[in-house]
């Protein structure tokens, strides 16, 4: 995850001049920026931007550059926002429950709970790809699996946040390992 993020630097000022972010597709009349090698990105003289470059945040080269304490805090928060967005995306994934596809959103869980409480017996449920007759026991199992999936997403978000919270300087930022491990979309 961290290897997908870069900072824009001004070598004349010896300073980081932008926030950590994925490379933009198009930047300052350079099209397809993510398609260039890191070596080419680090010195943009070839594109008419002498003294500027994009450096991957995992590179030790950024530890020699100036930055403000506010910059570090803003970027920690930006990393957290990116993780939160990925968590939301993970919670919107289509999950596989015995070959039936379902989304673990709150609407689905509430509808299952209400239907179970009101009918208190078997009922047909419309999955994304099928209709299935579900017993109360199957609904309880499905609700438990959906809830566990959602909780695992929150747990992973919290784990990654705690790693980010350990960052106190740019060297910490360079050395952290931010590899996300979102839960499986196959519910067993």
Same domain, 97 and 179: yes
Instruction: Give the total number of structural domains in the chain.
Output: 2
- State the residue range of the domain holding 46: 2-66
Number of C-beta neighbours around residue 11 at 10 A = 15
Q: What is the pLDDT of residue 168?
A: 93
- 152-175 pLDDT tens trace: 999 999 999 999 999 999 999 888
Beta pairing, strands 5-10 & 123-126 = unpaired
Residue 53 belongs to some domain of the structure: yes
Q: What are phi and psi of 147, to 5 degrees?
A: -65, -40
Same domain, 61 and 106: no
Residue 33 belongs to some domain of the structure: yes
Same domain, 107 and 154: yes
Same domain, 8 and 62: yes
As given in the structure block, the two tokens for residue 46 are 């070839």
- 111-157 pLDDT tens trace: 999 998 998 889 999 999 999 999 999 999 999 999 999 999 999 99
> Using CA atoms, how far apart are residues 28 and 61, in angstroms rounded to an integer?
23
CA-based torsion, 137, 140, 141, 142: positive or negative: positive
Same domain, 36 and 124: no
Residue 176 belongs to some domain of the structure: yes
Q: What is the pLDDT of residue 119?
A: 84
Same domain, 22 and 95: no
Same domain, 129 and 58: no
Residue 76 belongs to some domain of the structure: no
- 27-69 pLDDT tens trace: 998 999 999 999 999 999 999 999 999 999 889 999 899 998 8
């Amino acid at each position: 995850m961290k290897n997908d993020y870069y900072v824009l630097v001004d070598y004349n000022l010896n300073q980081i001049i932008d926030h950590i972010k994925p490379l933009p597709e198009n930047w300052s009349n350079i099209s397809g920026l993510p398609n260039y090698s890191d070596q080419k990105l680090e010195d943009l003289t070839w594109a008419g931007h002498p003294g500027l470059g994009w450096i991957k945040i995992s590179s030790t080269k950024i530890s020699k550059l100036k930055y403000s304490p506010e910059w570090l805090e803003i970027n920690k928060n930006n990393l957290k926002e990116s993780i939160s967005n990925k968590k939301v995306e993970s919670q919107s994934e289509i999950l596989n429950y015995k070959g039936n596809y379902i989304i673990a959103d709150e609407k689905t869980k509430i509808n299952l709970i209400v239907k179970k409480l009101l009918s208190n017996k078997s009922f047909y449920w419309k999955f994304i790809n099928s209709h299935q007759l579900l017993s109360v026991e199957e609904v309880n199992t499905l609700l438990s699996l959906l809830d566990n999936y959602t909780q695992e997403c929150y747990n992973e978000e919290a784990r990654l946040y705690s790693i980010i919270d350990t960052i106190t300087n740019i060297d910490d930022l360079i050395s952290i390992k931010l590899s996300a491990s979102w839960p499986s979309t196959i519910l067993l």
